[in-house]
Amino acid sequence: MKFRDVVLGTLVLTLIILSIFPMRGLYKITNLDNYFSAETIQGFWWNAKFQNVSFNSSLVGDAIITFRPVELIKGKLAIHSQIEGAHLNIEAIVGLSIKGYNFIEGLKLKARPIKKYKNSKLIYQPISKLDANINYFTFNEQGCLQITGSGTGEFIDELGLFSNNVKIYIDMNCYKKNLELNFYSTKKNVEGKILIRPNLSYAMEVKSNKLNLKLREISKLRFLATPSFKVSGNLVDLLDYL
């Protein structure tokens, strides 16, 4: 047997082993269980299905990932991922470029939060609807590099300030390595922004002209600026409100 035949046979055998390597094994080897959990994992590393995926104990749904070899020509390692749940649907191409940045392309997000109860009492969930489309988003360990996308949402007015739930529009951009989401309602009754840092912590500030008028009526005070509400936390915790 020639040396060339041995090398060729070894290469073919290696490719066969790699092609049938199960996703369950890769999940354990790469410690993906530190980031999310799944009840069952089926398929191979290049085409797999995760059932009942949970992040930080919050159930998201089922996920399907498919390797995209065509992206290798562009110098990218990418997979097509899809998450389908009772209240959340996400589809996107995610991957890593040889230039050293991560990317998300063609992301489509649709969230319709379901009612949640604790001790037979309904838990207040401010978000009733959320849709987003991100054409292209690049980032690295230092933070946000570039993003083009937009979204719409609707939140529930528990204070009775508005006649209906408030519909908002969302713009996205990178600001000092942070992901900045600016949102506003059609009549500017509500506006604000969310800054998401590389460590997934966030800071949100919301202003409302209508609330400002209500406070003036109650307190008889004249504010030099529109009062605002500020909230901070971790992005993963927001899954509890979806």
Cα separations (Å) of 240 from 54, 58, 237? 11, 6, 6
Q: Is residue 134 part of a domain?
A: yes
Q: Is residue 180 part of a domain?
A: yes
Predicted pLDDT of residue 222? 54
Predicted pLDDT of residue 234? 83
Comparing CA positions, the residue from 70, 92, 72, 67 lying closest to residue 82 is: 92
Domain that holds residue 118: 68-235
- d(C-alpha 28, C-alpha 4), whole Å: 35
> How many domains does the structure of the chain reveal?
1
Q: Is residue 178 part of a domain?
A: yes
Predicted pLDDT of residue 22? 66
Q: Is residue 228 part of a domain?
A: yes
Q: Is residue 118 part of a domain?
A: yes
- Phi, psi (deg, nearest 5) at residue 54: -130, 135
- d(C-alpha 239, C-alpha 242), whole Å: 5
Q: Is residue 56 part of a domain?
A: no
Q: Is residue 114 part of a domain?
A: yes
Predicted pLDDT of residue 218? 47
Comparing CA positions, the residue from 206, 229, 203, 103 lying closest to residue 153 is: 206
Walk along the chain (242 residues) and give the pLDDT tens digit of each residue.
555 555 555 555 555 555 565 667 666 776 777 778 888 888 877 788 988 888 777 788 899 989 888 888 888 989 899 999 888 899 999 999 999 899 999 999 998 876 665 666 655 566 678 899 999 999 998 999 999 999 998 876 555 555 567 788 999 999 989 999 998 887 667 888 889 998 888 888 887 766 555 555 544 545 555 566 777 888 777 666 55
Predicted pLDDT of residue 38? 85
Q: Is residue 241 part of a domain?
A: no
